Amino acid sequence: MKYFKVFLIIVVLISVGFILIGVIVPKISYETTITTNKPVEETWDMFSDTELMAEWMQGFKSKKVLSGDATTPGSTYEVIIVQNDEEYVMTETLVEYKEDELYVFTIENDILLSKQEVHFKSDGDGTIVTEKSVTEGKSLIMKSIISLTKSIFQKNSDEKYNSFKKLVDEA
């Protein structure tokens, strides 16, 4: 009985510690920057081309308009990503749009909400592209999981934008 109580106390402490992580760090922030060898207009056009997204976004399946249009804040899209043979449906909402300069959006599903700002800045003949992201879970458990997996979110963002850079530079 004594061992059972000790085991139970340990399980409770670990559980409370896990939940506290989500309370202490409810959201994560990460940033990725690349520089392409193409002018900002060409880089922007390739970023905006949904036909090219599958070439640089791993698992990208589709993006379709639910309401509004491509340049109006408040417009919504259904985005489908496939990972490990499972489809994830997300809703993207356009927050701010400045052609050749800024694309700000939120993306959410049942478990998370992420705000992403993608900045485009001319750099001589090339373009500096910077994505700033803030992601949080919708439940306390997901807040803890996301907080503990920040490095995975950063790695995925880096890989996505390095693939985009390669696509743009080789065009």
Quick one: average pLDDT of 69-86? 94
pLDDT above 90 for 12: no
pLDDT above 90 for 111: yes
Give the model's confidence band at 70: pLDDT under 50 very low, under 70 low, under 90 confident, else very high: confident
Give the chain's domains with CATH numbers: 2-57+98-170 (3.30.530.20)
pLDDT above 90 for 77: yes
- Tell me the torsion sign for CA atoms 117, 118, 122, 128: positive
* Identity of the amino acid at 107: I
CA distance 63 to 89: 10
Which of 2-6, 34-38, 49-53, 101-105 has the least mean pLDDT?
2-6
Which residue stretches of 25-149 are H helix? 40-48, 53-56, 140-148
The pTM assigned to this predicted structure is 0.90
pLDDT above 90 for 125: yes
Give the residue from 161, 137, 160, 139 showing the smallest Cα distance to 150. Answer: 137
Give the model's confidence band at 166: pLDDT under 50 very low, under 70 low, under 90 confident, else very high: very high
